[in-house]
């Protein structure tokens, strides 16, 4: 896949990459946790710490419990939420919508859109508007939320991809990120007698930006208008009857006994996750899912959702080896 131009990678493949990479670089729901903590601190100034802690511990309970933790006492809600940040995207409604918006902002696809391009456009425009308005309404500077937060980052990327897709000028910083170059390089291309880009109030016209991006292998072009919706949005298919196999994610990492955390193994797709204490019971549930989903730590140590793309037969000794090595990967045809 590394040698394949990104323009040639279809929506299903992009969706798989999105689900497996989510949280490594961009997870705006983590910023929501920071905002909620700041909100709780602000509320405590109004109604007192005890009442604020009691209320906030209830607000964050679902996220903490999904992470397999418990809030020992109301005043401990901040620390509990801090540890459970990677679960905010699947437990809070806005977190879910921001999660889906990353697929568009980074990979140029939609995860759950209307059947036609017109409906998808309406959905995207509404999602971007919601994110922009939420960020604008957040007193981020007053509450100490970094202007470089994942939420700010997502809004900039989504807004500028939408500008590109709509034929409007884009910000130099966003164009730099789309192309994986520095902003300084883009600004150099905007200046001098041999400049490559015009400037429209400090932004770059869409047609010039897109023409330049077409030669950049790092750029994920927008294919949401013509894509076939990936299998991750398909539900209610008949259950699979598989046995003694373990699912393997696209990067070769399998579901294994070393993935227990808190109350057990977290399985199921976003919004429908459950915790199963016993490994064999969790594996049976995964085997019955049309597409198996489970939580596992990514390269950054965040517990994100991955989807199984194939199945392999393993014995007990294989599972013991894998459980002891978090970085263990299985080859396409093979054993541990």
Phi/psi at 272 (nearest 5 deg)? -130, 30
pLDDT of residue 111: 84
For the chain, give the percent of residues with pLDDT over 70: 89
Within this chain, do residues 25 and 119 fall inside the same structural domain, yes or no? Answer: yes
Angle between helices 150-165 and 117-137 (to 10 degrees): 140
Domain boundary among 180, 213, 246: 213
pLDDT band at 104 (very low <50, low <70, confident <90, very high): very high
What would the mean pLDDT of 52-75 be, rounded to a whole number? 92
Contact 105, 165 (CB under 8 A): no
Within this chain, do residues 120 and 209 fall inside the same structural domain, yes or no? Answer: yes
| Beta-ladder partners of 207 | none
Phi/psi at 146 (nearest 5 deg)? -60, 135
pLDDT of residue 30: 95
Within this chain, do residues 88 and 149 fall inside the same structural domain, yes or no? Answer: yes
Please tell me what DSSP assigns to residue 73.
S
Within this chain, do residues 176 and 279 fall inside the same structural domain, yes or no? Answer: no
Report how far residue 6's alpha carbon sits from residue 175's, in angstroms, rounded to the nearest whole number: 16
pLDDT band at 229 (very low <50, low <70, confident <90, very high): low
pLDDT tens-digit map of 276-299: 999 889 988 998 888 899 998 877
Domain membership flag for residue 128: yes
Among 33-37, 247-251, 264-268, name the one with the lowest average pLDDT: 247-251
Within this chain, do residues 20 and 163 fall inside the same structural domain, yes or no? Answer: yes
Within this chain, do residues 156 and 241 fall inside the same structural domain, yes or no? Answer: no
Within this chain, do residues 190 and 239 fall inside the same structural domain, yes or no? Answer: no
Within this chain, do residues 205 and 57 fall inside the same structural domain, yes or no? Answer: yes
Residue 260: which of 299, 229, 303, 221 has the closest Cα?
303
Only one residue has tokens 């199945």, namely: 311
Report how far residue 282's alpha carbon sits from residue 266's, in angstroms, rounded to the nearest whole number: 8
Contact 86, 23 (CB under 8 A): yes
DSSP string, 242-303: --SEEEEETTSPBP-GGG-BTTBEEESSTT--EEESSHHHHHHHHHHSSS-EEEEE-TTS-E
Report how far residue 27's alpha carbon sits from residue 89's, in angstroms, rounded to the nearest whole number: 8
Domain membership flag for residue 218: no
pLDDT band at 336 (very low <50, low <70, confident <90, very high): very low
pLDDT tens-digit map of 177-214: 999 999 999 999 999 888 999 999 999 999 999 999 99
The alpha carbon of residue 190 and the mean position of all alpha carbons in its chain are separated, in whole angstroms, by 32
Domain membership flag for residue 331: no
Higher pLDDT, residue 334 or 146: 146
Within this chain, do residues 200 and 257 fall inside the same structural domain, yes or no? Answer: no
Report how far residue 242's alpha carbon sits from residue 176's, in angstroms, rounded to the nearest whole number: 46
pLDDT tens-digit map of 105-126: 999 999 875 568 888 999 999 9
Residue 292: which of 12, 14, 11, 16 has the closest Cα?
16
| Beta-ladder partners of 267 | 274, 294
Domain membership flag for residue 332: no
Contact 106, 26 (CB under 8 A): yes
pTM over 0.75: no
| Pair of tokens at residue 266 | 């977290």
Within this chain, do residues 185 and 253 fall inside the same structural domain, yes or no? Answer: no
Report how far residue 246's alpha carbon sits from residue 280's, in angstroms, rounded to the nearest whole number: 10
Task: Give the count of beta carbons closer than 10 Å to the beta carbon of residue 190.
Answer: 18
Domain membership flag for residue 76: yes
Within this chain, do residues 110 and 241 fall inside the same structural domain, yes or no? Answer: no
pLDDT of residue 186: 95
In the chain, the number of structural domains is 2
> Structural domain of residue 305, as residue ranges?
235-324
Has residue 234 got a pLDDT over 60? Answer: no
Contact 68, 264 (CB under 8 A): yes
Report how far residue 94's alpha carbon sits from residue 278's, in angstroms, rounded to the nearest whole number: 32
Using only C-alpha atoms, the chain has a radius of gyration, in whole angstroms, of 22
Residue 157: which of 89, 241, 112, 222 has the closest Cα?
222
Domain boundary among 213, 248, 272: 213
């Amino acid at each position: 896949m590394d040698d394949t131009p990104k323009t040639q990678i279809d929506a299903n493949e992009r969706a798989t990459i999105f689900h497996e990479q989510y949280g490594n670089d961009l997870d705006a729901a983590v910023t929501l946790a920071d905002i909620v903590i700041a909100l709780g601190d602000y509320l405590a100034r109004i109604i007192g710490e005890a009442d604020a802690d009691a209320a906030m511990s209830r607000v964050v309970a679902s996220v903490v419990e999904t992470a397999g933790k418990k809030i020992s006492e109301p005043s401990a809600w901040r620390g509990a939420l801090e540890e459970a940040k990677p679960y905010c995207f699947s437990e809070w409604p806005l977190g879910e919508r921001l999660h889906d918006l990353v697929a568009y902002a980074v990979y140029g696809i939609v995860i759950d859109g209307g059947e036609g391009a017109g409906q998808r456009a309406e959905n995207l425009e509404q999602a971007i508007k919601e994110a922009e308005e939420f960020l604008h309404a957040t007193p981020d500077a007053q509450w100490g939320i970094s202007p470089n937060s994942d939420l700010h980052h997502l809004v900039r990327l989504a807004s500028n991809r939408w500008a590109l897709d709509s034929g409007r000028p884009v910000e130099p910083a966003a164009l730099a990120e789309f192309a994986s170059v520095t902003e300084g390089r883009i600004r150099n291309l905007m200046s001098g007698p041999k400049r490559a880009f015009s400037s429209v109030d400090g932004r770059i016209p869409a047609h010039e930006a897109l023409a330049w991006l077409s030669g950049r292998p790092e750029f994920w072009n927008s294919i949401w208008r013509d894509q076939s919706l990936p299998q991750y949005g398909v539900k209610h298919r008949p259950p699979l009857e598989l046995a003694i196999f373990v699912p393997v994610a696209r990067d070769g990492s399998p579901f294994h006994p070393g993935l227990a955390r808190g109350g057990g193994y977290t399985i199921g797709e976003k919004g429908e996750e459950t915790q199963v204490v016993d490994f064999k019971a969790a594996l049976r549930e995964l085997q019955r899912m049309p597409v198996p989903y489970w939580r596992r730590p990514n390269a950054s140590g965040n517990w994100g959702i991955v989807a199984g793309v194939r199945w392999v037969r393993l014995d007990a000794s294989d599972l013991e080896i894998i459980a002891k090595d978090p970085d263990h990967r299985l080859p396409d045809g093979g054993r541990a």
